[in-house]
Structure 1
């Protein structure tokens, strides 16, 4: 149960208590108890809801800057060493920033360096630091964990902002790209093509091609599924 859901339960569950003007200490006592519980219950959630205001830009454009779509969806985030569940959120992949919705409707931008991971739309995004978690030439940011076995496979989801003029109006375009990396020998290798994946595992090329055929996976159109399948098959075959 999320922090704010718990708080809502506490408040609604206490509506039977009278909060009229107190004339004695014994009458005032019931007020102090639920207030103290409310403060305790909201103490941790304040860490989540103290970010800067986020304003949706290019809101009228047909294309958008977010992951998958413009809809707010409930997800899980570990922020400032605390985990929060069922939080309405949206991921701006153009700026590589996570935004959450406060229960008063405000849109708040989380500090990326305090986000360990978040789970959204069945995707698990982990913040990885250049030179520490990933290769020095790779950029620090959120990476989608495509496959989490021995040959860990990660994806950086990105969008570029472009403009075109239609009827004297500037229209924003956001074409999306995905950059795939496979961990081998302690280093991440860029793996955008089927050839690149096969070259990483030359001893199992035949089996990997067969896995794609058996699964009826078309690499270019189903790249996420195809790469995850190939890497998992390799790890299975490579077991001692």
Structure 2
């Protein structure tokens, strides 16, 4: 049990430090952009991946990427180096991060090596790479940081499932979301799917959970629902011992 606690405590510290490093790095984007402009980005450590080949043709908006089928300007900590204003796409089907090198190069799009990606941001969304093979809730890949409010950390595993379609002589694919929400509390990770899962963690907060868990709000925007719910729940902890399982 002590080993498990140490592992998860270290992981929480890692997520927190990644967020702090990313926030600190974002304060100096002009310097990093100036540096990349001087040496040319393809001569930096970011130009390090494998060729991307599109295998699944799509013909509508049900694509496999995070928010947009187009490259988005983001930032990334790659192989220990921070890069800002980088054209990125996050493939939710394969859990891979793509980098747009440009059509002046043999491979215009690279798949960045996952083990070199510490964290990245797209728009207002921040992601961290987590790799846990042991414990009740194994975790591997990129996780979006939705909420970090003591004593709760809420993460989201963005995923899309592939469907093959045939229309006449045309074969194409559509992708639908299949997301998971992960909660870190008391050095343990839990997959959260329902009110029952929350009650299993905090049976002593049954009254609060029943009063504030509104399924109707969840249907309109699930991210906002979980963020608002767990923000309120975190506020109920008046000391570090409150919330322990009875």
TM-score, normalized by length of structure 1?
0.75
Q: CA RMSD in A?
A: 2.6
CA–CA distance in structure 2, aligned partners of residues 171 and 69 of structure 1 = 18
- Give the drift of 1:221: 3.0
The answer as to whether partners of 1:3 and 1:42 remain within 8 angstroms in 2 is no
Q: 1:2 to 1:52 in 2, by over 3 A?
A: farther
Query: Any gaps of 5 or more consecutive residues in structure 1?
Result: 9-37
Give CA deviations for 1:11-30 in whole Å, capped at 9, x if unaligned.
xxxxxxxxxxxxxxxxxxxx
CA–CA distance in structure 2, aligned partners of residues 7 and 124 of structure 1 = 22
Q: Which moved more, 1:90-99 or 1:48-57?
A: 48-57
Q: 1:7 to 1:196 in 2, by over 3 A?
A: closer
Matches within 5 A, 1:90-109: 90-104=89-103, 106-109=108-111
Indicate which of 128, 132, 140 corresponds to 1:126: 128
Query: Any gaps of 5 or more consecutive residues in structure 2?
Result: 1-29, 240-246
The answer as to whether partners of 1:75 and 1:87 remain within 8 angstroms in 2 is yes
CA–CA distance in structure 2, aligned partners of residues 87 and 223 of structure 1 = 29
SS of 1:52's partner is strand
2:116 equivalent to 1:117: no
2:167 equivalent to 1:169: no
TM-score, normalized by length of structure 2?
0.73
Higher relative contact order (CA 8 A, sep 6+): 2
- Name 1:141's counterpart in structure 2: 141
The answer as to whether partners of 2:129 and 2:141 remain within 8 angstroms in 1 is yes
Q: 1:147 to 1:232 in 2, by over 3 A?
A: same
Give CA deviations for 1:147-198 in whole Å, capped at 9, x if unaligned.
1122111111111212122223222121111111111222111111233224
CA–CA distance in structure 2, aligned partners of residues 4 and 55 of structure 1 = 28
- Give the drift of 1:131: 3.3
- Name 1:179's counterpart in structure 2: 180
- Give the drift of 1:7: 5.1
Structure exhibiting the larger radius of gyration computed from Cα positions: 1
The answer as to whether partners of 1:4 and 1:42 remain within 8 angstroms in 2 is no
CA–CA distance in structure 2, aligned partners of residues 180 and 193 of structure 1 = 10
Give CA deviations for 1:184-235 in whole Å, capped at 9, x if unaligned.
222111111233224423333433454456xx96123322111112222222
- Give the drift of 1:67: 1.0
